[in-house]
Amino acid sequence: MRRPGPYLVLWGCLLWASAAMLWAFSFGLPHDPQACTSATCVAEPYLAPALLTAAGAGSFLIGLALVLTHGGREDSAARPVVDQSMTTVVLAAGIGLAVLGLAIGWWLVAIGAGLGLSGAGGLVREHRALAHLRSGA
Amino acid sequence: MTTAARPEEAAPSPPDPRVGGWLSWISGTDHKSLAMRLFCVCGVFFLVGGLLALIVRAELATPGMQVVSHQEYDEIFTMHGSTMVYLVVQPLALALGVYLVPLQIGASDLIWPRVALASLWLIVAGGTIMYLGFLTTGGAGPDGWTAFLPLSSSRYTPGSGMDMWVLGVLLANGAELVLAVVVLATVLWRRAPGMTMLRLPVFTWTEVVTCMMVLLAFPALLAAMGLVYVERVTTVNVDPVVYLHLFWFYGHPTVYVMFFPFLGCVAEVLPVFSRRRFFGYPAMVFSLLAFATLSMSVWAHHMYATGRSANEFFAITSTSLAIAAGVEYFDLVGTLWGGSLIFRTPMLFALTFMIQFLIGGLTGIILASPPLDYSLTDTFFVVGHFHYTLFAGSIFGFFAGVYYWFPKATGAMLRERLGVAHWALMVVGTNLTFFPMLILGYDGMVRRIANYPASAGFTGLNELSTAGSFVIALSVLVFMANVWWSLRHRVAAGNDPWEAQTLEWWTTSPPPRHNFTDLPPVRSHAPLLDLRLEESRA
């Protein structure tokens, strides 16, 4: 297995195997729910196995997508790299202020959102400039 | 893409006049500088969190309230735990990946460096918001790092300090989730030619598994914190058991998020300082996947005492962790077996990690058993157990990595004598602090208390534990002095001072902006060892 997809599929299957056991245990073994002790007859029998099943699905689907799209190949392409990105910092500062604003007041959320939007706009410009550089190369 | 010509030693690329200064420190996207900034951020939070731990230990040294009030104590132990988990060990685990993964897989950078940069500053923002709670009238969040409902609802914990704690945790962990995605995607799509999945260095494999666990488990924490926030600002009531499931579905896997990368550090150090190839590489890789599966399947052992979880299942899976851990220990010991051991500082930390984490693991098996857990839950035994895994284990693994990769990152060697002094003080301090906690818990001292009666018989062991915590603080000062001295009076490291085995040691120290001008052929997980063996045969 040279590529990552099968490993993620395998891990998803392992999580599902564990989830299958948890489904069984959550509803009691043997199958008669009345027969189990209080420790296995849990109050929310669906929640715990559903969480684990969902985690297994996450890994399985990412792995499957990688397998089907032949993704995760080795890479030898040369690319221009970005040295600095002040707009990213502005975006992060905007998000931080907006989140703090949820505890302090909506005025700060508005300032944070404005700052975040200007950062996002700057990122779009950066992206275009990089695309221009790539097309020139 | 292959060559036999190794980059010249101590030939760093000329500085780019456009890059540098404070602007670069804020907005630079090079993964190495980004990781170093994240290390610095974690270091600052580590010092603050450590200071809070010293206050907690000073308060608990003797019966009575000597240092802080009950309310202040609650805030301080909460911020200590939250800082160490959310702002120190979790981001450190990812910062190692940000620095090392591109170098180990032969890539020039992270796949999305801007996203990683945003994550860095969002972690800083999250931590700052959590600490801003101290400036509010009600003080910072006081409900423990777990913030169980209904205690953390606005009815029982009013005030904006707790709101800030919840929002800060949301922001920092959301950023860490995004950072993990960047590291994982870099491994998936930026591996150099020849670097197949079964040729990834062990450290990179531990990062892959860690990032997958972050990807699947951290959304549960975000959901849990979202529920707490909704409960605080609306009239909606959240079932505390639903919160418990969501929180621990994140809370236990994150123990391994805070363990695997440091296990990876040890797994890189042991072969190099044993002059051997890593023993049982495929078994290690598949046991990591099994280990990660089990660690995602054990969360409700934190809920045994609620009587509302499938205890039999979680007891089986929790005990089974010993099997996966056993395979990994077998590989580590197998690597040492018959090797020419070199006892330099990284090796000392790595060997101590193995012994001390074993104590953490064995006490974990005790807690995996529901009947034993019923009597030990919420006692200092649990506190001792998780400090043996997270501090005596992970932090020792981290320092093994720091002493090992410091020459690569800076081009300078850390001083050996100061390193040994740091290690010795830390071993003494760690065991003096945390082993008494195991006995205190066994004797019935409950956790999260600011005071205890003098007649309880806990005083002697608490004094010992407090003395140990100050020895740990001293050891950290020795480490800081070592870093300062080694950078001020540099002893050049060269490209590969340890005769190491993985790709990062092929390039110059510190590596240039693009990491590599060319790469050696990659035919196994230890390409430089392969190259040396070829040269010795020729």
Same domain, A45 and A94: no
The pLDDT value recorded for residue B19 is: 54
The per-residue pLDDT for range B113-128, each reduced to its tens digit, is 999 999 999 999 999 9
**Interface contact A83-B29, CB threshold 8 A:** yes
Same domain, A27 and A57: yes
Closest residue, chain B, to A126 (C-alpha) = B114
Which is more confident, B498 or A76? B498
CB contact under 8 A, A15 and B297: yes
- pLDDT value at residue B16: 53
The shortest C-alpha distance from B97 to chain A (Å) reads: 17
pLDDT bin (cut points 50, 70, 90) of residue B26 is: very high
Domain residues for A114? 86-136
Q: Which pair of structure tokens corresponds to residue A87?
A: 């707009």
Residue A38 confidence (pLDDT): 41
A47 and A99 belong to one structural domain: no
CB B469, CB B429: distance < 8 Å: yes
- Check residue A72 and give its pLDDT: 81
Pick from A9-18, A44-53, B255-264: least confident: A44-53
- With a cut of 60, say whether residue B308 has pLDDT above it: yes
Same domain, A9 and A41: yes
Question: What is chain B's mean pLDDT, rounded?
Answer: 94
| Count of CB atoms situated within 10 Å of the CB of B268 | 29
Q: What is the pLDDT of residue B8?
A: 65
Q: Which two tokens stand for residue B176?
A: 């860490």
Q: What is the pLDDT of residue A31?
A: 46
Which of A26, A84, A104 comes nearest B29 by C-beta?
A84
CB contacts < 8 A, A to B, total 190
Q: Are residues A105 and A55 in the same domain?
A: no
Question: Cβ of A53 under 8 Å from any chain B Cβ?
Answer: no
Q: How many domains does chain A have?
A: 2
A86 close contact with B: CB closer than 8 A: yes
The answer to whether residue A123 sits within a structural domain is yes
Is the predicted pLDDT of residue B100 greater than 90, yes or no?
yes
- Is pLDDT of A28 > 70? no
pLDDT at B3: 44
Domains and CATH numbers, chain B: 31-537 (1.20.210.10)
Pairwise CA distance, residues B423 & B434, whole Å: 16
| pLDDT over 70 at A15, yes or no | yes
When mean pLDDT is compared across B2-16, B47-61, B354-368, the lowest value belongs to B2-16
CA gap B78, B162 in Å, rounded: 11
Same-domain pairing of A97 and A63: no
- In angstroms, the first-to-last Cα distance of chain B is 22
Question: Which of A29, A91, A102 to mutate to test binding with chain B, by most B CBs within 10 Å of its CB?
Answer: A102
Contact between chains at A3 and B317 (C-beta distance less than 8 A):
no
The three-class DSSP label of residue B111 is coil
CB contact (8 A) between residue B197 and residue A22: no
Q: What is the pLDDT of residue B6?
A: 67
User: Does residue A46 belong to any structural domain of this protein?
Assistant: yes
Structure tokens at B122: 């969002």
Chain B environment of A8 (Cβ under 8 Å): 212
Q: Is residue A9 domain-shared with residue A63, that is, in the same domain? A: yes
Mean pLDDT for the stretch of residues B301-321? 90
Q: Supply the ipTM of this predicted assembly.
A: 0.92
Of B27, B208, B312, the CB nearest to A85: B27
Interface of A with B in 111-130 (CB under 8 A): 123, 126
Q: Please give the Cα distance from B265 to B263 (Å, whole number).
A: 5
The pLDDT tens digits for A74-112 are 887 877 777 889 999 999 999 999 999 999 999 999 999
For residue B383, give how far its alpha carbon lies from the nearest alpha carbon of chain A (Å): 25
Asked if A58 and A15 sit in the same domain, the reply is yes
Between B22 and A61, the higher pLDDT residue: A61
CB contact under 8 A, B242 and A3: no
In this structure, are A92 and A58 located in the same domain? no
Q: Per-residue pLDDT for B18 more than 60?
A: no
A94 assigned to some structural domain:
yes
Are A63 and A37 in the same domain? yes
pLDDT of amino acid A34: 54
